């Protein structure tokens, strides 16, 4: 059974069992089967493409492996093998307290499911969570780091926990300006964010599909906004579902740090590109962070950018 305390565990966690789902890729429009497997301590999150040769199949979920941030986060290994739209699954793993997992899939994109993290949280609950004997390290932010990209801004500062202060603005659209604050020491990812769906504009569909994107998008897996209203018959799951989903994306993208971050993020008009830019800026300033175990400050950060054979956990 799912144990919410795993999120706050002093020890690393993994899945207690294996669980599988099938769906279509949001951008490819192609069917894909995905399986979550338990993994040993210090494995982190690793994606494994079953449709390529084994020697080239492993792609660690790590910020240095990000290769594309257009309408989703895509990671690649040194062989050029990619997996895209990983952010909703990464957010579910983070929000469920999972540190180590092997994600196998038979295609290049994580299935979109209903456009939120809820189906993945459900899968994790079905598999259960196992606490491992190894201690969990955390990444502690020591000073403020800020980035800017066009009209988007993001900063992270020291904080005893993890929090998001997020503002979205889409002038001239049916999406109102929305702002929200999430402190995950007092709020649950599952109850606050996991059901919030991805969204897009009907006017952009033809252009995106011409670029090879959004070919699997539909009213079943995204909120679609018309000229002046939401087109989904069932409406929104929350009045502020748009900002909640952007916060969900942030959670998934920041988990590409490979660790749980102790810090508070403030961001305006966030997107996958500036999320990645903030992580890169943080790690580029060695005085801005430290790696902390339960008992000491570690001297170095364990880089995980190189693909290596996945270590599946033994029963």
CB atoms within 10 A of CB 136: 20
Distances in whole angstroms, Cα of residue 178 to Cα of each of 63, 171, 241, 254: 28, 11, 9, 21
Q: At a CB cut-off of 8 Å and minimum separation 6, what does 16 contact? A: 38, 127, 128, 129, 130
CB atoms within 10 A of CB 31: 13
What is the SS3 assignment for 209? helix
DSSP strands (E only) in 150-294: 152-157, 162-168, 178-183, 199-201, 223-225, 260-268, 289-292
Question: CA 163, 41, 96 angle in degrees (round to 5)?
Answer: 35
User: Do residues 40 and 100 make contact, with C-beta atoms less than 8 angstroms apart?
Assistant: yes
**C-alpha–C-alpha distance, residues 279 and 267, integer Å:** 13
User: Do residues 166 and 179 make contact, with C-beta atoms less than 8 angstroms apart?
Assistant: yes
Backbone angles phi, psi at 215, to 5 degrees: -70, -20
**C-alpha–C-alpha distance, residues 89 and 77, integer Å:** 19
What is the SS3 assignment for 224? strand
User: Do residues 78 and 306 make contact, with C-beta atoms less than 8 angstroms apart?
Assistant: yes
**C-alpha–C-alpha distance, residues 138 and 122, integer Å:** 26
From the list 10, 7, 147, 25, the residue with the least C-alpha distance to 91 is 7
Write down the catalytic residue from 27, 88, 245, 272: 272
> Residue 56 catalytic?
no
Just list the catalytic residues: 272
């Amino acid at each position: 059974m799912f144990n919410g305390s795993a999120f706050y565990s002093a020890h690393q966690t993994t899945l207690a069992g294996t669980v599988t789902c099938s769906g279509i890729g949001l951008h490819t429009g192609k069917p894909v089967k995905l399986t979550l497997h338990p993994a040993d301590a210090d494995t982190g999150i690793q994606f494994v493409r079953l449709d390529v040769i084994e020697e080239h199949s492993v792609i660690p979920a790590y910020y240095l492996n990000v290769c594309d941030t257009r309408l989703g986060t895509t990671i690649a290994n040194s062989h050029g093998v990619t997996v895209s739209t990983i952010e909703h699954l990464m957010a579910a793993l983070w929000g469920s307290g999972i540190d180590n997992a092997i994600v196998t899939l038979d295609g290049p994109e994580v299935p979109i499911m209903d456009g939120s993290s809820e189906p993945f949280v459900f899968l994790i609950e079905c598999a259960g969570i196992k606490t491992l004997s190894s201690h969990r390290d955390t990444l502690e932010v020591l000073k403020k780091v800020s980035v800017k990209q066009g009209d988007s801004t993001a900063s992270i500062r020291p904080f005893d926990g993890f929090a998001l202060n997020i503002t979205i603005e889409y002038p001239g659209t049916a999406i109102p300006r929305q702002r929200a604050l999430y402190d995950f020491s007092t709020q649950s990812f599952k109850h606050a964010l996991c059901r919030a769906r991805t969204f897009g504009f009907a006017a952009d569909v033809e252009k995106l599909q011409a670029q090879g994107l959004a070919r699997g998008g539909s009213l079943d897996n995204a909120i679609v906004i018309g000229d002046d209203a939401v087109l989904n018959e069932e409406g929104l799951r929350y009045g502020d579902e748009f900002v909640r989903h952007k916060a969900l994306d942030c959670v998934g993208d920041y988990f590409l740090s490979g660790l749980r971050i102790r810090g508070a993020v403030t961001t305006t008009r966030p997107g996958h590109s500036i999320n990645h830019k903030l992580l890169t800026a943080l790690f580029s300033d060695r005085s801005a962070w430290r790696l902390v175990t339960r008992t000491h400050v570690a001297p170095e950060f364990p880089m995980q950018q190189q693909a290596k054979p996945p270590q599946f956990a033994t029963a």
